[in-house]
Structure 1
Amino acid sequence: MDNADNLFHPSLATALMKLDPEDGEQIMEYFKTHALLNREKALLQASVREQKKLLVENAKLKKDIEQLRFQLQDKQRRRTAKALLSPAPPPPTLSPTHTTPVNQSASPAEALAGVPTNPPPPSHDRRERQSRRRRGERKARPTSDPLSLGVEPRVDVSRLDLRVGRILSVRRHPLSETMSIQEVDVGENAPRTVVSKLGGKTDLEELQGSLAVLLCNVKACKMKGVVSQARLICCSTSDDCIELLVAPTGSMPGDRVTFLNYPGEPDRELQSKQRVWELLQPDLQVDCRGVANYKGCGFEVKGKGLCRAPSFTNCIIR
Structure 2
Amino acid sequence: MSDTDNPFHPSLAAALMKLDPEDGEQIVEYFKTHALLTREKAMLQASVRDQKKLLVENAKLKKDIEQLRTQLQDKQRRRTAKALLAPPPPPVNPAPSTPVNQTTSPAGATAAVPTNPRPPSSTQDQRERLRRRRGERKARPSSDWFSLEAEPRVDVSRLDLRVGRIVSVRRHPLAETLFVQEVDVGEEAPRRVVSKLEEDTDFEELQGGLAVLLCNVKACRVRGVVSQARLLCCSASNSCSQLLTPPTGSIPGDRVTFLNYPGEPDRELQANQKLWELLQPDLQVDSKGVANYKGCGFEVKGKGLCRAPSLTSCIIR
CA RMSD of aligned residues (A): 4.1
Whether 1:99 and 2:126 are equivalent positions in the alignment is no
For 1:215-294, what aligned pairs fall within 5 Å after superposition?
215-238=214-237, 240-294=239-293
Given that 2:181 and 2:193 are in contact with CA atoms closer than 8 Å, whether structure 1 keeps it comes out as yes
Unaligned runs of 5+ in 2: 1-66, 75-80, 98-119
Amino acid at match of 1:262: Y
Contact 1:245 1:310 in 2 (8 A): yes
Question: Which residues of 2 match residues 1-318 of structure 1 at below 5 A?
Answer: 91-92=84-85, 99-102=91-94, 148=150, 152-238=151-237, 240-318=239-317
Q: Secondary structure at the match of 2:173?
A: coil
Matched residue SS, 1:177 = strand
- Using the alignment, how far apart are the partners of 2:227 and 2:301 within structure 1? 28
Distance 1:104 1:160, change over 3 A: same
- 1:201–1:240 contact (8 Å) kept in structure 2: no
Give runs of ≥4 in structure 1 deviating > 4 Å: 88-95
Describe the SS at the equivalent of 1:178.
strand
Provide the rounded CA distance (Å) in 2 between the counterparts of 1:240 and 1:93.
Answer: 62
Q: What displacement does 1:302 show? A: 0.3
Q: Give the secondary structure class of the aligned counterpart of 1:212.
A: strand
Structure 1: how far apart are the matches of 2:260 and 2:314? Answer: 22
Contact (CA 8 Å) 2:237, 2:314: kept in 1 or not? no
Query: Cα deviation per residue 1:158-189 (whole Å; 9 max; x = unaligned)?
Result: 11100000111110112222211000111111
What amino acid maps onto 2:243 in structure 1? L
Distance change in 2, residues 1:94/1:159 (3 Å): closer
TM-score, normalised via structure 2 length: 0.57
Change (3 A) 1:94 1:291: closer
- 1:28 alignment counterpart: none
Higher strand proportion: 2
CA contact (8 A) 1:200 1:240 kept: no
Between the two proteins, the alignment pairs up a number of residues equal to 213
Mapped contact 1:199–1:239 kept (Cα < 8 A):
no
- For 1:99, give the aligned amino acid: P
Structure richer in helix, relative to its length: 1
Over 3 Å counting, the alpha-carbon distance change for 1:181 and 1:94 in structure 2 is closer
Percent of paired sites with the same residue: 68
Partner of 1:111: none
Q: Distance in 1 between matches of 2:206 and 2:307?
A: 16
Whichever residue aligns with residue 314 of structure 1, its letter is S
Deviation of 1:199 (Å): 2.7
Where does residue 31 of structure 2 map in the other structure?
none
Residues 155 and 279, structure 2, Cα contact 8 Å, conserved in 1: yes
Q: Which residue type is aligned with residue 303 of structure 2? A: K
Query: 1:301 & 1:92 partners in 2: Cα distance?
Result: 51
How many Å separate the matches in 1 of 2:238 and 2:269? 25
Q: CA deviation at 1:201?
A: 2.3
Deviation at 1:154, TM superposition (A): 1.6
Deviating more after overlay: 230-239 vs 289-298: 230-239
Q: 5+ residue gaps in structure 1? A: 1-75, 106-117
1:241: Cα distance to partner?
1.3
Q: CA deviation at 1:239?
A: 7.0
Structure number with greater Rg is 2
Contact 1:202/1:242 (CA < 8 Å) preserved in 2?
Answer: no
CA spacing shift, 1:168–1:281, aligned 2, 3 Å: same
Task: Report how far residue 217 of structure 1 moved.
Answer: 0.6
